[in-house]
Amino acid sequence: MTDPNDSTRILCVDFGSTFTKAALVDVPTGRLVATGSHRTTIGTDLMEALDVLRTDLAKATGDQPDWPVRACSSAGGGLRIAVVGNERLVTVEAGERVATSSGGRVVHVAAAILDSGALTALAASAPDLVLLVGGTDGGNTAVLRANARALADAATTSGSASAAPVVVAGNAACAPEVARVLTGAGVAAVVAGNVLPRIGVVCPDPARAAIREMFVRHVIGGKHLSRREEFARIVVGATPDLVLCGVEVLARTLGVPGVVVVDVGGATTDVHSVVEPDPEDAGLGREVVATLPVGRTVEGDLGLRWNAPQIVHAAVKAHLLDEVAAPEVEALRMEAERRKENPGFVATTQAEVDIDVRLAELAVKLALRRHAGRSQVVTGPAGPAVDRTGRDLREVGLLVGSGGLLRHVDSELARQVVATGLAGSGGHGRLVPERPDLAVDRDYVLAAVGLLAPDHPDAAATLVPAVRP
Percentage, residues of the chain above pLDDT 90: 54
Which of 354, 301, 364, 299 minimizes the C-alpha distance to 332?
A: 354
With cut-offs at 50, 70 and 90, classify the pLDDT of residue 430. Answer: confident
Give the residue from 43, 48, 44 showing the smallest Cα distance to 13.
48
Integer Cα distance of 177 and 191 in angstroms? 10
Q: What is the mean pLDDT of the chain?
A: 87
Per-residue pLDDT band for 386 (boundaries 50, 70, 90) equals: low
* pLDDT, average across residues 433-438: 92
- Across the range 323-351, mean pLDDT stands at 87
Q: Please list, in sequence order, all residues whose beta carbon lies within 8 angstroms of the beta carbon of residue 12, skipping any fewer than 6 positions away.
A: 22, 23, 24, 25, 69, 70, 71, 447, 448, 451, 452
Which backbone phi and psi does 438 adopt, to 5 degrees?
A: -115, 145
| Cα 343 to Cα 189: distance, rounded to the nearest angstrom | 37
pLDDT tens string 62-118: 999 999 999 998 877 678 899 999 988 788 888 888 887 776 788 899 999 999 999
Quote the CA–CA distance of 43 and 49 in Å, as a whole number.
11
> What separation in angstroms does the CA of 5 have from each of 23, 70, 253?
18, 19, 32
- Sign of the CA dihedral running 365, 242, 258, 411: negative
pLDDT reported for residue 283: 41
Q: Which among 7-21, 96-110, 184-198, 254-268 has the top mean pLDDT?
A: 184-198
Domains (range + CATH), the chain: 9-67 (3.30.420.40), 77-222 (3.40.50.280), 238-303+347-467 (no CATH)
Q: What is the Cα–Cα distance from 321 to 33, expressed in whole angstroms?
A: 43
Amino acid residing at 19? F
Q: Which amino acid is at 441?
A: D
How crowded is the C-beta side of 298, counted as CA atoms within 13 Å? 26
Position 467 pLDDT exceeds 90: no
Confidence (pLDDT) at 172? 95
Task: Give me the helices (H) in 111-194, please.
Answer: 116-124, 142-158, 175-184
Alpha-carbon distance of 329 to 362, in angstroms, equals: 12
Q: Give me the pLDDT at residue 256, please.
A: 86
Strand partners, 237: 72
Average pLDDT over residues 371-393: 73
Handedness of CA 362, 364, 369, 370 (dihedral sign): positive
> Which of residues 222 and 1 earns the better pLDDT score?
222
DSSP-assigned letter for residue 198: B
Query: Strands, E, within 157-256: which ranges?
Result: 166-168, 189-191, 235-238
Strand partners, 310: none
| Angstrom distance (rounded) from CA 96 to CA 98 | 5
Cα dist from 164 to 154, 189, 239, whole Å: 11, 9, 20
Q: Give me the phi and psi of 173, to 5 degrees please.
A: -65, -25
Q: Is the pLDDT of residue 215 over 90?
A: no
pLDDT of residue 160: 61
Contact, 137 vs 199, CB < 8 A? no
Q: What would the pLDDT profile of 107-162 be if each residue is shown by its tens digit?
A: 899 999 999 999 999 999 999 899 999 999 999 899 999 999 999 999 998 766 56
- Can you give the pLDDT at residue 6? 47
Residue 452 has what pLDDT? 97
Render 143-162 in DSSP notation, one character per residue.
Answer: HHHHHHHHHHHHHHHH-GGG
Buried b (16+ CB within 10 A) or exposed e, 179-203: bebbeebebbbbbbbbbbbeeeebb
> What pLDDT does residue 130 have?
96
Contact 147, 179 (CB under 8 A): no
Model pLDDT, residue 349: 94
> CB neighbours (10 Å) of residue 36?
18
pLDDT number for residue 111? 92
